[in-house]
Amino acid sequence: MADHPDNVKQEQKHFGCVSHSFNADIASKYGVPEAIIIQYIAYWIDFNIRTGKNQHDGHTWMYETRKDMSAHFPYFSPDQIRRITDKLVIKGVLIKGNFNKTAIDKTIWYAFKNQKMFTTAESASGGDQCARAIPVPKTVIKKKNYYKKKKFSETNGPPVVVVFPCLDDLDISDYLKEEISRKHPEEEVKTAVKRTLSWSSRLNDETGIHTTLDRKDTWDDTPSKEQRIEANAAYLKTLEHHDGTKIARSDVTIGNNYILFSKGQGCVSFSIKECGFIPKVATYITNLRALRV
């Protein structure tokens, strides 16, 4: 049964007027998502070619964070943008650069390896074979102009995100470091990094930091049995210089997982597997030394 015209009109009211296009030949060669991103990057590189901006190393560049780029495409997440652009770099379509004015600014710059192949401003043929580059919707243009006016000034460069130094201890992408530093307080991130590094069974650092941040209010910092034994073994290793010596009148013997204090026929031993090993041993040694006359 065909839709009633009134129903069609009513349904159409729920959709915006923004449409995205791509080059069919490019999509056939590289994939539809890649073709969409190529069209978007080509649009801004064409603009920069015409205005003479962002010329470096024989290429014309455009720069934008993956988060901002993904805002133009509600069907692509920032991680998907990363995977698409990385794939285009591997395939020799894009090259990446960093021409930011500050070292801590990690905004990625993009250019075409073969600029004439994908841009229309330098294309000799032009014509109808190439789809128009994806325009930015009017609402986004207003927002982008405002953003550029306020934050992307010629003197100040792109907005700076200060990446917390503690994140350098993790094996995660620069993009994720920026996102975490933008969204979370530094003390909260420091705690999450510490928890991630102490979580020995984590799948990877990216999963670890996401999990520890999401569970920041419910995370149990109590060490596991394995962690406790590992810490006890490390402490026992620091006492190895006492092995075969005396503390007060007690002989000290240190094994792989225990320490033994013997005096005459009496002895006291502590195992690294027992709870409170470190404070018990430290207190016992302190008491022995106090008995010295």
pLDDT tens digits along 157-187: 455 678 899 998 998 888 888 889 988 999 9
> How far apart, in whole angstroms, are the C-alpha atoms of residue 140 and residue 150?
15
Under the banding of pLDDT at 50, 70 and 90, the label for residue 143 is very low
Residue ranges of domains in the chain: 24-151, 165-214, 225-290
Give residue 126's pLDDT: 41
Give residue 159's pLDDT: 56
Q: Is the pLDDT of residue 272 over 50?
A: yes
Q: Is the pLDDT of residue 234 over 60?
A: yes
Under the banding of pLDDT at 50, 70 and 90, the label for residue 6 is low
Q: How many other CB atoms sit within 10 Å of the CB of residue 266?
A: 8
> How far apart, in whole angstroms, are the C-alpha atoms of residue 22 and residue 132?
8
> How far apart, in whole angstroms, are the C-alpha atoms of residue 142 and residue 20?
18
Q: Is the pLDDT of residue 31 over 70?
A: yes
